[in-house]
Each structure stands twice: as structure tokens, then as C-alpha cells.
Structure 1
């Protein structure tokens, strides 16, 4: 049965960084709080587990790395998770207990080869407790490339639900027009955009995506302060000149004509709620459907390589 309305929630919070259990506890607490208020789709920010290490260099300069920075990175690696793994089982049990969809930004450890590479990922958990899919950020931004590897076209899911198709991109990969088009072509209805960008220009971005894709956009950011960081990090002194609030948030929910439905929320921890009317999506596409009647496939075409990229392939001789 299709549902034409859904209450959604964007969680604006942050755990104690580099602390897996802190993030797990915060996810449990905030999910329950949102579910008590009727939310059925609950979204957490970019790399909520184990946090976005804004302001840290991990001792990296061009041509050199420090021993302390390596130790900080190993601590970050140790607080990351396997997907699937024990933590996703816990999230599945939570989602099933509460009957909600969970979308969570995590740092994912590679399970295929060395287990050393990390990915900036988003996982999708269904109300039956199943892991429905994941997306790995295609291009980490700037210095993020020292922390996270690149995703590929095998993790660009758009997932069918009773209230429409959900999927999304992470932070600045939303500035990749062809990546957005790949999601539009899958009929996305609720576009999820977890981020670490609290600038005013990000608000222009999410409103543009909503208007371009004629979809709802749930944009979710952390509210993080210096108190979110363990003081025993080797690189903690790098934060001395920064403001006490390191990420002011800006979580918001936008309708398919580009207007705010809720938010943006700034300068505090909180939850942004909205009840989405899915009938607004076909109404909005009456005069503009980016991959339908407003496309020109005779002029423009996009090819998406959805094959998983592997450095080693085993064949039988």
C-alpha cells in the first residue's frame, strides 16, 4: 500500500568524536526521541559515526606525516564500522523495534582487501531491520581525501518504500550535476543530503536540488563544538584558534518547488521535523520533469558505470 504522507526527521547533533560507543548511544537516543514524535524516516548527518573531524590535519603536510597524526588516524579507523557488521545489526534491531526507516552517515572500513581504507558512507536501514543499501561518497573534498577513499557507481542506490523512492548524495558531491542526474533517472522522490557544510551557500544548493529534481530534500548537518572532541588527541591544539562552535548546523527540509518546509536550524542541537505530502511531487513535475518531458536525450545522454571496481580479480584458470 502506498502512503501519500510521511513524517520525517533530520537529527542535528554530534557524538564525542573518535568514540564509536558515544555515537551508537546518541543514535539510539535521538532515534527514539524522533520516533516518539511520530517520525517514520529519520536521517543522521554526514559521518555521524564516529564524527566529522573538522579542523584536524592528522599531522599531514606535503611530503611528510607525523607519528602523532598517524596515531590519531588509527584511532579514527578503530572507531569506524564494517557494513554490514555488528553495528548495522544493532541499528536494524532499533529500526525494527520502532518501525522506522533509518539513514545514517558512517565511516565505513573496507572489507574486501586490506581493511585499512575508510569510506564516507550513508547506510539505509528498513523498518524490518534489513540493511537496504549504502552509498559511498564518490569524491571526498579537499583534505578529506587523506581520510577516505573514493566510492564507485555500484553504490548509487535509490530505494523503493511505501512512501516513495529515497536516496541521496553526501555534502559536496551534490555539486556534481551528473551524479544528481543519476539519482533523478531512478525516480527519486525524497533526496537525502547529509553534509558538513554550514555556510549560507549550502542552503542555496539544497533549494536548487529540490527545484531541479522536483523532489523533497532532507539536508542534515551536525551541531558540533570543541567539547565534542577528546582532549587527548595529538592534534587537539590545532583547534585553539577556532570558535567554540565548530559546526553551526543548518539542517532543513525543502519541498519540490524549492521552498522550505522546515528549518534551517542553526546554533543549537535539535531535530527538524516535517510531514511530507507526496502528492506535491507529481504536481511539481507538471511543468518540469528533469529526466522526463524536460529532457533532450537526442542531445544529452549520461552513461553510469554501476560495476564495482576491484583492484584484484580472481579467475579460474
Structure 2
């Protein structure tokens, strides 16, 4: 049983879209600010590096794509990162200097099988500066599927740390009951949910997950305005007539009985900070433990394929003889 507190911080912000350096600068500054408030665990929103392209069509209609959209996507690709890679090393240095855990949403450029696929990923970096793990979004939502590939079960990550068992899912993955169960059966204490969903219904989902999983839930969204979009994008016209605030935020921290520890923050950039008492996680499971005494494996079973999926496998022909 864990018997200590950890101070967690949620960063609600957005970088200049398609600008990797802008995102890195914000990560550095806001990590330092949160650490200055005593935070030991700091969470950034979905694809914070290099930003969530809300409202952009990338020149796509059913049955056709245009050159301007391809140019914008190429710019997005150029500002994505590799894992591991130079940006991860730099962020790791900041984490080590400040002695904090960092969880950051990133656009990951595939470096193994392809040079043309991006993933919506979340990286976990420890206070020793090392990359502890990553998760790739299993199912990008709607038109996101034009931008990002699908992850697999090998990155359904929960990491056992002195700060508790930390893991999570990205945005609408949290509406996938079986994906949530894959988190719960790993004994998750602190459930991280980077998102781009600012609707009121998202709050209901986050509170439900906290109550269902009897865990702390850290919901982290961006606060984005049109000022964060480069005006020279080929598809900038897609948002020109939109309201100035493109994403109002709604980041929050929720306790293991579904109550707000920190209420949602709307319509402004900010950092939410709270002490998480991990003994409450254990206590809350007294009457409901979804992966323990409240499960019925004689009735329900979940099969998780946690193997990395490969498109090419090499075989020693001698073994086939």
C-alpha cells in the first residue's frame, strides 16, 4: 500500500501550431513554473508537441486531397519528433534537473517501418531523465485518421513508480471500455487523460473513469486561440471565420471517488496543482475494485494482444526445413 502524497500539475496551454521550437520553449518554461509550485508530476495536453490542428481540413474532401493540404501535412511531419530522439533527450534533461515526472502528448514520426506515418503518442519521462515508456493512440478519431496511424496493444502502458502506478489513454480512447479495463487490471493509481475535447460531456466521462477505476484522473486539455495558428498555412481559411478561442480547455483533477480535486479551468491558460493522497486510492477500493473483488472472470474475460505488430518478419529458411 502506498502511503505518500505526490503533488501533480496539469498544464493547460498551446504552442504555436506546427512549430516544434515553440512547443519546446513552452514545455521548458511551464515545467519550471509548475516545479516551482512544488509539482513532482507534470502533465501536458494531447499532441502538445507540435500542437493539435483543430479545425484544419488539410485540403481533404471525400475522394480527393489537394496540394495545399499535402504541404501543410508535410510541415506538420517536419515538426514531429522521434522517440527516442533529440527532443526527448532535451526534455529528459529538464526533468532530471528539476526532479520531476513529465507526461507529454507528442506527434511521433515513425522511424522503424516508414518515413510517412505519424502517431498521436504520449511519453513518460522520469525524474532521472530517462524515457520510461510511451503510448500510441489506438484509434484516432474521425478526420484525425488522415493525420495519424493506429497504435497497438504493445503500448497500453502503466508504469510502476515510487509516485504510484501511472498510465493512461488519449482523448476518445477513454470511451473504449475494454481499453479502460486494460488500464485497470494493471493496478493504475494515477490515470492520465490528455485530450482535445472541451465539451461538458467530457467531464462526465472523466468523473466516471475516476469512480469506475477508483483512481486519480488527470484530465489535460489545451487552451488554444487563432493567434497560435500560423497565418501562412495553406488551409488557414478553414478557421478564419471561427471564434478567437478554438479550444476553451476544461483541464481538471479528479479523486478516486469521482469528486473534483481541482475544478475544470476554462477560457484561459493556466497550471492546476493538487496534492494526491495515494492512500485514498486503496481505501476507495474497499467497496468496489473493478479488477479485483468486483470482477467476475468466470463470466467476463478480456484478451489483450500486447505484442508489437510488424508488417515484415524475416525468417531463417533453415528453420523451415
Secondary structure of 1:302's counterpart equals coil
Kindly state the Cα deviation for residue 65 of structure 1 after the two structures are TM-superposed: 0.5
Q: Partner of 2:247: helix, strand, or coil?
A: strand
Q: TM-score, normalised by structure 2?
A: 0.98
| Residue of structure 2 in register with 1:128 after alignment | 128
The answer to whether the aligner puts 1:8 opposite 2:8 as a matched pair is yes
Q: Partner of 1:54: helix, strand, or coil?
A: coil
C-alpha distance in 2 between matches for 1:216 and 1:2: 14
Match of 1:168?
168
Separation in structure 2 between the aligned mates of residue 94 and residue 302 of structure 1, nearest angstrom: 39
Matched, 1:151 2:147: no
CA distance in 2, matches of 1:293, 1:307: 28
> In the alignment, which residue of structure 2 is the partner of 1:24?
24
Is the 8 Å Cα contact of residues 3 and 163 (structure 1) preserved in structure 2?
Answer: no
TM (norm. structure 1) is 0.99
Answer whether contact 1:3 1:162 (CA < 8 A) is retained: no
Give 2:263's aligned residue: 263
Report the Cα distance in structure 2 between the residues aligned to 1:84 and 1:263, rounded to whole angstroms: 35
Q: Residues 59-78 of structure 1 correspond to what in structure 2 (within 5 A)?
A: 59-78=59-78
Deviations 1:218-264 (A, max 9, x none): 00000000001000000001102211000000000000000000020
Contact kept in structure 1, 2:171 and 2:193, CA below 8 Å: yes
3-state DSSP of counterpart to 1:48:
coil
Q: Which residue matches 2:192? A: 192
1:207 and 2:207 aligned: yes
Cα pair distance change 1:113/1:306, threshold 3 Å: same
Residue 105 of structure 1: aligned partner: 105
- Which digits, 9 at most, give the CA deviation of each residue in 1:171-228, with x for residues without a partner? 0000000000000000000000000000000000000000000000000000000001
Q: Is the contact made by 1:60 and 1:66 (CA closer than 8 Å) also made in structure 2?
A: yes
CA distance in 1, matches of 2:239, 2:142: 18
What's the secondary structure of 2:313's corresponding residue?
coil
Q: SS at the partner of 1:219?
A: strand
> May I ask how many residue pairs the two structures share in their alignment?
317
Contact 1:252 1:263 in 2 (8 A): yes
Structure 2 gaps, min length 5: none
CA contact (8 A) 2:3 2:279 kept: no
2:254 alignment counterpart: 254
TM superposition shift of 1:99? 0.2
SS at match of 2:300: coil
Q: Contact (CA 8 Å) 1:263, 1:272: kept in 2 or not?
A: no
